């Protein structure tokens, strides 16, 4: 009797333990689940801006990213013969399209940007243009564009040289000899020119195959087209949360023209490198944004898939695309996928 | 007996006097070392904004209920953007001052129209909690003109700053008390 | 523009020009609220010096518990609630240790003053700092409601904690790990009326204990108290229970809530003399061994203690991440990986710090061994004493015992004074 009593008591205690531990387990699971629910992704999070359909990736990365060797990488340009020029610190690096460094041209000043021509380079320093030969020997130095000048891009056509001046929010049109022809993009509401809104040192331009000048107006989230005479022809783009829109305060930060008139754009803050047609219809992406801002690459970022320094982009006549990652100091090499482009998306 | 005790006492007194003298000399020595090194100064705590990772510890780790760390604005660096991502949510529903569009949970950033297309952003420090959300996105998308600083009208200048203890990037440092700010773009202080 | 330190600002050399406004808008400047600088440190120093002076005068000349109580309330209000408990003499131990061992550490003059002034006063007048100046002492003294006696053996054992705390605080401060005295100051949360949960709980518990056990922090934890105890042994003037001569009336015996009143000790009892002498000899022989064991223990716990240093903790974290023993990253490890410093250099840095800890461990353990051995030896001694006296080391000069002495009462009647409570 006594023994049995003892046994039931023991069992009773056991039962209490069992119930108790079950309750504890249940509690833990609930806490775990609720904490998971709490960490559910906010649909308005910045990460959703970088989530794209893999079908929309139109390019392959053809080799490993190549380190620029600079502390501060600034600008990438493509040459006619498939070579790539990268400026940074106080030098210009010349690579072939496989990323092998062919030459390093040392300079006495910091090259903000560069445009190669037949015999040499037009190099943009902070406030003036320097003409050098292929070895970097200075042939001519043009007059300063002003104390507030901040040259971020140069484009050439047969007669003109266009300078994007981010500091003074203007495009300068010169002849090849350094004589000022006109200013482009000064605010003129009669001519439908609202002026360039450039909040930061990102202001890009290029000559399109159609002969018109394209200028990024980052504060307005637009790409604008001008004639060489400074008439505004058309513009496209806008701010928004859709994939085809430009995000954040001031984008696109840089762009490059492809031989067929398509445009590749880069955005600051979101690692999206997009392909648009001439009139701004989104065709696709050069790479997966998550891969471009890969957190396992040398610099780890607090905000996933966000990069602080805008990428710079260049494209050559064969349609190779070069992306300069100013934060990780690497150049990435891309080539269009062979199977052609899928139809443009609405 | 009495005599013996007295002797013993005076011996003890002598020893005590000697040790007291030695202690005073030691204390003097410490002062001397300080004098010689010239390393005494009055300091205050400050954040190096170029080392700050915007981790958010400033909001929670300060010994004060409302952190002494606030967001400050370098107007010189600001782009005066119409669509500022230090002000708006990463994907705002609309470009207006509605609270649901703002990244600041406290609505501490004020957006004032200056002239087309520029807007000024000012910080109401009485509302700012030092969470660094706006600093993170301003650095990510914009010019990085918003940054964190210890505000010395609030800081009680603890011997060992509680935020400095948990700062993941050693961004907290002691600075001279008469120039206690490390503003971005070398702002005066 | 830069979130991560070593990554250089692309545009560091020049400033990008801000927009040109057409409307005549003027950019606001930074506002720069300044710290409480200027004459304030000087005022703090003067208040400290005056409080020390007044406390000493009240203890030795005026012999007034009521006035001391008033001074305590003032000190609690000024150093505690107004100055929020910082800077304080107890915490200054860490500043001074770091200062003496680290050439680059900048110590404020006020902190040096807070460290040194009470030491000098203690050498002259005993622990008048504890009586009327220290806000931590004041909060405990004022909240002592119903004193309970602590058995002598327990008192001695618990007091050892204070030595451990002192040694640990100095060790960690010298190595640059943390200022533990500040971090675990139990009363600072009361002074600031705010603090994190564990400190609030600890402060609350200690406060409640303090209702019954007099000054628990001062007696069993305070690292500065440990230093003051030793200096108080050497003080020029000591606290006297009686203003004139002790007539052995034993009325004061129970007056001290801190167990600091020692009854007279006469001749060594014949019976235990031989035994006690033997024990003393044994402890004297054991002393070096105790020190050695302590030092060895200190050295062997050093690697674990070194984890309190951020660089060592970071190196361990990185090592675990590198060897797949930890998932993901922490804020610190993420920052490190973006900083450009190589992992090898971090490991090297951490190894140097750990070696420093190991060296410090010898001293830490050796010191504690020495204190333990020394304590055993002192306990085996029987200093002769004729009268009821306040123990030099343990007396915090609170002034409670004065009015228990009939001689004091006589004196009060003579002068008709109201000086004592």
B119 to chain C, closest Cα gap in Å: 11
What percent of chain C lies above the pLDDT cut of 70? 94
pLDDT given at position C397: 93
B100 to chain C, closest Cα gap in Å: 27
Lowest mean pLDDT among A110-124, A242-256, C260-274: C260-274
* Residues of chain B contacting C183 with CB distance shorter than 8 Å: 160, 162, 165
- Would the CB atoms of A199 and C19 count as touching at under 8 Å? yes
- Would the CB atoms of C16 and A72 count as touching at under 8 Å? no
* Residues of chain C contacting B16 with CB distance shorter than 8 Å: 233-234
Q: How confident is the model at residue A297 (pLDDT cuts 50, 70, 90)?
A: very low
State how beta strands A113-117 and A120-124 pair: antiparallel
Task: Report the distance separating Cα A119 and Cα A133, nearest Å.
Answer: 6
Q: Which of C21, A43, A238 is nearest to B95 (CA)?
A: A238
Mean pLDDT of A155-164: 95
In three-state secondary structure terms, B68 is coil
**pLDDT value at A296 more than 50:** no
Domain limits of chain B? 1-40, 43-186
Q: How confident is the model at residue C3 (pLDDT cuts 50, 70, 90)?
A: very low
- Would the CB atoms of B136 and A302 count as touching at under 8 Å? yes
pLDDT given at position A35: 40
User: For the segment C13-53, what is each residue's pLDDT rounded down to a tens digit?
Assistant: 467 888 889 888 999 988 899 887 668 888 999 999 999 99
pLDDT given at position A21: 59
pLDDT given at position A238: 93
Question: Mean pLDDT score of chain C, rounded to an integer?
Answer: 88
Picking from B41, B48, B75, the nearest residue to C108 by CB comes out as B41
Picking from B54, B85, B139, the nearest residue to A249 by CB comes out as B85
Residues 248-307 of C with CB under 8 A from B: none
Q: Which residues of C touch A (CB under 8 A)?
A: 1-4, 7-14, 16-17, 19-20, 329, 334, 337-338
User: For the segment A49-75, what is each residue's pLDDT rounded down to a tens digit?
Assistant: 788 888 899 999 998 899 998 888 999
Q: How confident is the model at residue A344 (pLDDT cuts 50, 70, 90)?
A: low
Q: Which of C139, C147, C156, C153 is nearest to C219 (CA)?
A: C156
Distances B167 to A21, A158, A321 between C-alpha atoms, Å = 39, 56, 41
| CB crowding C133-150: b at 16 or more within 10 Å, else e | bbbbbbbbbeebeebeeb
Q: Which residues of A touch B (CB under 8 A)?
A: 44-46, 48-49, 194, 197-200, 219-221, 239, 241, 247-250, 268-269, 302-303, 306-308
Q: Tokens 């001052």 sit at which residue?
A: B97
- B8 bridge partner residues: none
Cis peptide bond N-terminal to B103, omega within 30? no
Distances A190 to A40, A77, A187, A231, A232 between C-alpha atoms, Å = 50, 35, 9, 11, 11
More confident site: B5 or A124: A124
Q: Tokens 């007696």 sit at which residue?
A: C219
**Which long-range contacts (C-beta less than 8 Å, at least 24 apart) are formed by A179-183?**
A182/A229, A182/A230, A183/A230
Task: Report the distance separating Cα B186 and Cα C13, nearest Å.
Answer: 12
C311 to chain A, closest Cα gap in Å: 19
Task: Report the distance separating Cα A171 and Cα A195, nearest Å.
Answer: 10
**pLDDT value at A20 more than 80:** no
Distances C190 to A76, B163, C70, C205 between C-alpha atoms, Å = 60, 19, 19, 12
Task: Report the distance separating Cα A213 and Cα A153, nearest Å.
Answer: 13
Q: How confident is the model at residue C4 (pLDDT cuts 50, 70, 90)?
A: very low
State residue C124 phi and psi, 5-degree precision.
-95, -45
**pLDDT value at A8 more than 80:** no
User: For the segment C94-129, what is each residue's pLDDT rounded down to a tens digit?
Assistant: 989 988 888 777 778 888 899 999 999 999 999 999
Q: How confident is the model at residue A182 (pLDDT cuts 50, 70, 90)?
A: very high
| Three-state SS letters, chain C | CCCCCCCCCCCCCCCCCCCCCCCCCCCCCCCCCCCCCCCHHHHHHHHHHHHHHHHHHHHHHHCCHHHHHHHHHHHHHHHHHHCCCCCCHHHHHHHHHHHHHCCCCCECHHHHHHHHHHHHHHHHHCCHHHHHCCHHHHHHHHCCCCCCCCCHHHHHHHHHHHHHHHHHHHHHHHHCCCCHHHHCCCCHHHHHCCCCHHHHHHHHHHHHHHHHCCCHHHHHCCHHHHHHHHHHCCCCCCCCCCCCCCCCCCCCCCCCCCCCEECCECCCCHHHHHHHHHHHHHHHHHHHHHHHHHHHHHHHHHHHHHHHCHHHHHHHHHHHHHCCCCCCCCHHHHHHHHHCCCHHHHHHHHHHHHHHHHHHHHHHHHHHHHHHHHHHHHHHCCCCECCCEECCCCCCCCCCCHHHCHHHHHHHHHHCCCCCC
- Would the CB atoms of B53 and C4 count as touching at under 8 Å? yes
Lowest mean pLDDT among A246-250, A300-304, B39-43, C126-130: A300-304
Q: Which of C19, C17, A219 is nearest to B81 (CA)?
A: A219
* Residues of chain A contacting B83 with CB distance shorter than 8 Å: 221, 239, 248-249
* Residues of chain C contacting A72 with CB distance shorter than 8 Å: 8-10, 12
- Would the CB atoms of A49 and B90 count as touching at under 8 Å? yes
Mean pLDDT of A204-233: 95
Q: How confident is the model at residue C233 (pLDDT cuts 50, 70, 90)?
A: very high
How many residue pairs bridge chain A and chain B with CB atoms within 8 Å of each other? 70
The sheet carrying A160-165 orders its strands as A151-156, A160-165, A170-175, A180-184
- Would the CB atoms of A71 and C19 count as touching at under 8 Å? no
**pLDDT value at C173 more than 60:** yes
**How many CB atoms are located within 10 Å of the residue C301 CB?**
15
Distance of CA A262 to the CA centre of its chain: 16
Residues 114-153 of B with CB under 8 A from A: 117, 136-137, 139-144
* Residues of chain A contacting C334 with CB distance shorter than 8 Å: 300, 302
* Angle of CA points A223, A228, A229, to nearest 5°: 115
Question: Mean pLDDT score of chain A, rounded to an integer?
Answer: 84
- Would the CB atoms of B54 and C195 count as touching at under 8 Å? no
pLDDT given at position A301: 41
Q: Is C327 on the interface with B (CB under 8 A)?
A: no
CB of A193 closer than 8 Å to CB of A187:
yes
CB of B134 closer than 8 Å to CB of B87:
yes
Q: Which domains does chain A have, with CATH numbers?
A: 49-68+152-336 (2.120.10.30)
More confident site: A38 or B20: B20
pLDDT given at position C302: 96
Picking from B37, B77, B168, the nearest residue to C331 by CB comes out as B168
- A276 bridge partner residues: A263, A282
B152 to chain C, closest Cα gap in Å: 5
Q: Tokens 């003067």 sit at which residue?
A: C46
**pLDDT value at B1 more than 50:** no
CB of C23 closer than 8 Å to CB of A156:
no
Tokens coding A179 = 């004589």
Mean pLDDT of C327-342: 81
Picking from B20, B40, B54, the nearest residue to C234 by CB comes out as B20
**How many CB atoms are located within 10 Å of the residue A273 CB?**
26
Picking from C1, C3, C16, the nearest residue to A302 by CB comes out as C3
Picking from C18, C179, C310, the nearest residue to B159 by CB comes out as C179
pLDDT given at position B72: 95
User: For the segment B123-134, what is each residue's pLDDT rounded down to a tens digit?
Assistant: 999 999 999 999
Task: Report the distance separating Cα C402 and Cα A57, nearest Å.
Answer: 90
State residue C60 phi and psi, 5-degree precision.
-95, -35
Tell me how far apart the terminal alpha carbons of chain A are, to the nearest angstrom. 85
Domain limits of chain C? 41-266+384-412, 270-377
pLDDT given at position A9: 58
Neighbours of chain B (3+ CB pairs under 8 A): A, C
Q: How confident is the model at residue C177 (pLDDT cuts 50, 70, 90)?
A: confident
Which residue in chain B is spatially nearest to C177 when comparing CA positions?
B165
**How many CB atoms are located within 10 Å of the residue C261 CB?**
20
Which residue in chain B is spatially nearest to A45 when comparing CA positions?
B90
What percent of chain B lies above the pLDDT cut of 90? 43
pLDDT given at position C350: 95
Tokens coding C251 = 């009325």
**Structure ipTM:** 0.78
A175 to chain B, closest Cα gap in Å: 31
Q: Which residues contact A118 (CB under 8 A, 6 or more apart)?
A: none
pLDDT given at position C15: 78
Q: Is C235 on the interface with B (CB under 8 A)?
A: yes
CB of C211 closer than 8 Å to CB of C99:
no
Mean pLDDT of A187-197: 92
pLDDT given at position A309: 80
pLDDT given at position C421: 41
CB of C127 closer than 8 Å to CB of C237:
no
C337 to chain A, closest Cα gap in Å: 7
For chain C, the C-alpha Rg in angstroms (whole number) is 27
Picking from C17, C20, C337, the nearest residue to A300 by CB comes out as C337
Q: Which residues contact B123 (CB under 8 A, 6 or more apart)?
A: B70, B71, B72, B73, B108, B109, B110, B146
Q: Which of C133, C105, C137 is nearest to C120 (CA)?
A: C133
What percent of chain B lies above the pLDDT cut of 70? 92
Tokens coding C229 = 């105890």
* Angle of CA points C308, C311, C317, to nearest 5°: 85
* Residues of chain A contacting B49 with CB distance shorter than 8 Å: none
pLDDT given at position B106: 93
Q: Tokens 């804020």 sit at which residue?
A: C331
pLDDT given at position A210: 93
Which residue in chain B is spatially nearest to A307 when comparing CA positions?
B140
Distance of CA C366 to the CA centre of its chain: 20
**How many CB atoms are located within 10 Å of the residue C60 CB?**
17
| Three-state SS letters, A97-109 | CCCCEEEEEECCC
Q: Which residues contact A38 (CB under 8 A, 6 or more apart)?
A: none
pTM > 0.80: yes or no: no
Tokens coding C2 = 């830069």
What percent of chain A lies above the pLDDT cut of 70? 80
pLDDT given at position B139: 84
Q: How confident is the model at residue A293 (pLDDT cuts 50, 70, 90)?
A: confident
* Residues of chain C contacting B137 with CB distance shorter than 8 Å: none
* Residues of chain C contacting A325 with CB distance shorter than 8 Å: none
Q: How confident is the model at residue A294 (pLDDT cuts 50, 70, 90)?
A: low
Tell me the DSSP string of B145-167. Answer: -EEEEE-TTT----SS-HHHHH-
Mutate to test the interface with A, among C1, C7, C13, C20 (most CBs of A within 10 A): C7
Q: How confident is the model at residue A304 (pLDDT cuts 50, 70, 90)?
A: very low
Picking from C3, C16, C20, the nearest residue to A308 by CB comes out as C3
B94 to chain C, closest Cα gap in Å: 25
Distances A22 to A8, A25, A36, A55 between C-alpha atoms, Å = 20, 5, 21, 48
* Angle of CA points C89, C94, C97, to nearest 5°: 115
Mean pLDDT of A291-299: 60
Task: Report the distance separating Cα B66 and Cα B59, nearest Å.
Answer: 8
pLDDT given at position B146: 93
A203 to chain B, closest Cα gap in Å: 13
**pLDDT value at A22 more than 80:** no
Q: Which of C308, C98, C403 is nearest to C413 (CA)?
A: C403
In three-state secondary structure terms, B21 is helix
* Residues of chain B contacting A302 with CB distance shorter than 8 Å: 53-55, 136
More confident site: B111 or C387: B111
Tokens coding B100 = 């649901």
């Amino acid at each position: 009797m006594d023994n049995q009593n003892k046994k039931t008591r023991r069992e009773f205690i056991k039962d209490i333990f069992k119930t108790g531990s079950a309750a504890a387990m249940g509690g833990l699971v609930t806490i775990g689940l609720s904490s998971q629910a709490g960490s559910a992704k906010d649909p308005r999070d910045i990460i959703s801006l970088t989530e794209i359909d893999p079908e929309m990736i139109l390019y392959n990365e053809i080799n490993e990213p190549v380190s620029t060797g600079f502390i501060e990488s600034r600008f990438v340009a493509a040459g006619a013969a498939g070579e790539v020029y990268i400026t940074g610190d106080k030098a210009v690096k010349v690579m072939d399209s496989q990323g092998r460094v062919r030459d390093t041209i040392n300079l006495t000043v910091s090259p903000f940007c560069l445009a190669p021509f037949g015999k040499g380079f037009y190099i943009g320093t902070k406030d003036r243009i320097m003409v050098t030969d292929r070895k970097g020997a200075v042939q001519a130095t043009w007059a300063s564009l002003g104390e507030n000048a901040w040259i971020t891009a140069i484009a050439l056509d047969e007669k003109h040289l266009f300078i994007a001046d981010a500091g003074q929010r203007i495009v300068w049109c010169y002849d090849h000899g350094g004589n000022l022809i006109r200013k482009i993009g000064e605010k003129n509401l009669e001519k439908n020119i609202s002026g360039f809104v450039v909040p930061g040192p990102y202001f890009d331009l290029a000559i399109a195959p159609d002969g018109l000048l394209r200028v990024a107006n980052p504060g307005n989230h637009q790409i604008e087209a001008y004639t060489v005479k400074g008439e505004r022809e058309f513009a496209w783009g806008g701010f928004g949360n859709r994939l085809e829109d430009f995000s954040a305060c001031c984008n696109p930060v840089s762009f490059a023209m492809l031989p067929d008139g398509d445009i590749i754009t880069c955005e600051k803050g979101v690692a999206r490198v997009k392909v648009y047609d001439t009139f701004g219809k989104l065709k696709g992406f050069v790479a997966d944004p998550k891969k471009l801002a890969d957190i396992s690459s040398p610099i780890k970022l607090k905000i996933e898939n966000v990069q602080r320094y805008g990428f710079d982009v260049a494209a050559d006549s064969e349609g190779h695309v070069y992306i300069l990652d100013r934060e990780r100091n690497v150049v990435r090499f891309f080539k269009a996928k062979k199977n052609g482009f899928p139809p443009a998306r609405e | 007996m009495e005599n013996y005790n007295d002797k013993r006492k005076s011996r003890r007194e002598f020893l005590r006097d000697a040790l007291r003298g030695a202690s005073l000399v030691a204390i003097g020595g410490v002062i001397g070392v300080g004098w010689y090194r010239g390393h005494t100064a009055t300091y205050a705590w400050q954040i190096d904004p170029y080392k700050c990772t915007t981790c958010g510890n400033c909001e929670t780790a300060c010994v004060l209920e409302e952190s002494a760390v606030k967001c400050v604005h370098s107007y010189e660096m600001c782009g005066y953007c119409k669509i500022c991502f230090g002000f708006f949510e990463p994907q705002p529903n609309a470009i207006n001052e509605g609270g649901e569009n703002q990244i600041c949970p406290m609505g501490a950033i004020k957006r004032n129209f200056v002239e087309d297309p520029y807007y000024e952003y000012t910080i109401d420090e009485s509302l700012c909690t030092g969470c660094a959300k706006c600093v993170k996105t301003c650095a990510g998308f914009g010019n990085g003109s918003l940054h964190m600083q210890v505000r010395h009208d609030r800081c009680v200048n603890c011997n060992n700053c509680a935020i400095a203890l948990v700062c993941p990037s050693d961004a907290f440092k002691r600075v001279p008390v008469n120039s206690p700010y490390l503003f971005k773009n070398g702002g005066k202080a | 523009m830069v979130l991560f330190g070593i990554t250089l600002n692309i545009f560091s050399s020049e400033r990008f020009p801000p927009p040109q406004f057409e409307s005549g808008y003027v950019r606001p400047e930074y506002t720069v609220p300044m710290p409480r600088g200027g004459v304030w440190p000087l005022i703090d120093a003067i208040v400290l010096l005056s409080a020390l002076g007044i406390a000493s005068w009240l203890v030795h000349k005026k012999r007034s518990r009521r006035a001391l109580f008033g001074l305590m309330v003032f000190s609690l209000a000024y150093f505690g609630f107004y100055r929020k408990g910082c800077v304080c003499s107890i915490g200054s131990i860490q500043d001074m240790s770091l200062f003496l061992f680290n050439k680059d550490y900048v110590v404020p003059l006020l902190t040096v003053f807070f460290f040194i002034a009470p030491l000098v006063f203690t050498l002259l007048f005993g622990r008048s700092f504890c009586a009327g100046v220290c806000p931590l002492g004041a909060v405990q003294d004022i909240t002592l409601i119903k004193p309970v006696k602590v058995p002598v053996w327990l008192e001695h054992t618990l007091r050892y904690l204070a030595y451990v705390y002192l040694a640990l605080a100095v060790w960690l401060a010298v190595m640059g790990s943390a200022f533990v005295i500040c971090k675990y100051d139990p009363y600072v949360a009361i002074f600031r009326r705010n603090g994190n949960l564990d400190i609030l709980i600890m402060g609350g518990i200690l406060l409640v204990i303090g209702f019954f056990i007099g000054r628990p922090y001062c007696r069993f934890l305070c690292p500065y108290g440990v230093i003051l105890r030793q200096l108080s042994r050497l003080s020029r003037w000591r606290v006297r229970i009686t203003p004139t001569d002790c007539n052995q009336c034993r009325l004061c015996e129970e007056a001290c809530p801190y167990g600091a009143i020692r009854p007279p000790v006469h001749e060594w009892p014949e019976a235990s003399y031989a035994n006690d002498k033997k024990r003393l000899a044994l402890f004297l022989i054991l002393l070096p061994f105790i020190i050695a064991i302590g030092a060895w223990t200190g050295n062997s716990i050093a690697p674990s203690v070194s984890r309190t240093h951020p660089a060592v903790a970071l190196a361990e974290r990185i090592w675990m991440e590198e060897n797949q023993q930890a998932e993901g990253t922490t804020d610190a490890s993420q920052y490190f990986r973006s900083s450009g410093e190589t992992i090898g250099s971090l490991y090297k840095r951490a190894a140097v710090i750990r070696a420093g800890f190991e060296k410090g461990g010898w001293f830490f353990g050796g010191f504690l061994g020495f204190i333990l051995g020394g304590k055993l030896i002192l306990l085996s001694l029987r200093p002769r004493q004729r009268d009821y006296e306040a123990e030099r080391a343990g007396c915090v000069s609170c002034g409670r015992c004065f009015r228990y002495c009939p001689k004091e009462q006589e004196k009060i009647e003579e002068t008709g004074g109201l000086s004592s409570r």
